[in-house]
Amino acid sequence: MSNKSLMGLIVLLAAIIVGWNAFFVVNQTERAIVLQFGKVVESDVAPGLHFKLPFVQEAHTFDGRLLTLDTATQRYLTLEKKALMVDSYAKWRIADVQLFYTATSGLRAIAEERLSRQLESGLRNEVARRTLHEVVSGERDQLMADITATLDESARRELGIEVVDVRVKAIDLPAEVNRSVFDRMSTEREREAREHRAKGTELAEGIRADADRQQRVILAEAFRESEKIRGDGDAKAAAIYAEAYNKDPEFYSFSRSLQAYRESFASRSDMLVLDPDSEFFKYMQGNPVKR
């Protein structure tokens, strides 16, 4: 290869290198700035193809999309000095690209570290102004709205970041408090169980006593009714006996004597010491029955 051809090749390569360094592209999802010797000469460059002075100026692009800052669970104290474990996250994006670069050197890690500290401080202040009930349910939405507004204002001013939203993912009690809360809940449930059992026992005793009373009343009424029926039967039987006796007194006396004989001599071992001429044996003496 001749010197002239070599020189042409070198010039071509140099032109390619210079051209490569003279143009840069900004995507739709990016934000960009142009620096000249470390100083910002053009901020918030629009998306598209752009020219810069090669080897003198340099372009820096940053992610301009909505980003998520997921913080670690932190311990906070409420207005009544009760500890809570709060897990939260923030949605943010670059609002002022020049301020963002000067404040963080364009590094997302630095931006999120500083934003995380501000979020933690803001949450601590907002939780400390509210009671446990307000943080958990009463004013939870208002808490997130307040911390979003406060964090957005400070982040725009100090970091060039727009905080779109702050959300609380979970609120829980510390591990050492959970055990005491569960124990207290268990004790309360045991107390309620004892009360229910005592009420049940009292109700059962009342039902049992009422059943016993009704049983005694029913038995007494049944006994009274049976005695009444028995009395009526005895009266009717006596009336029948009296009517039969009046019709034939002698035959009635003979029948009763035979029954007395059967009952008296029912067992062979029975022994009676009586005068043979007594009235008891009058129907065994051979006297005819008079009608």
- Report the mean per-residue pLDDT for the chain: 82
Residue position matching structure tokens 């007594």: 278
14 and 48 inside one domain: yes
Beta-strand ranges (E) seen in the chain are 23-26, 30-36, 39-45, 48-51, 57-63, 67-70, 74-77, 83-94, 161-172
pLDDT higher than threshold 80 for residue 265: no
The verdict on 167 and 80 lying in the same domain is yes
Distance from first CA to last CA of the chain, Å, rounded? 181
In a domain, 149, yes or no: yes
The domain of 277 spans 212-284
Residue 167 lies in a domain: yes
Handedness of CA 245, 246, 251, 253 (dihedral sign): positive
Give pTM, 2 decimals: 0.56
Reference 62, options 107, 102, 112; nearest CA is 107
DSSP H or E run through 220? helix 175-247
* pLDDT, tens only, 103-152: 998 899 999 999 999 999 999 998 898 888 888 877 888 888 999 999 99
Tens digit of pLDDT for each residue in 68-86? 999 888 888 888 888 888 9
The answer to whether residue 145 sits within a structural domain is: yes
* pLDDT tens-digit readout, 185-211: 888 888 899 999 999 999 999 999 999
43 lies in the same domain as 73:
no
Give the strand pairing for 67-70 and 83-94. antiparallel
- End of a domain among 172, 197, 232? 172
Total domains present in the chain: 3
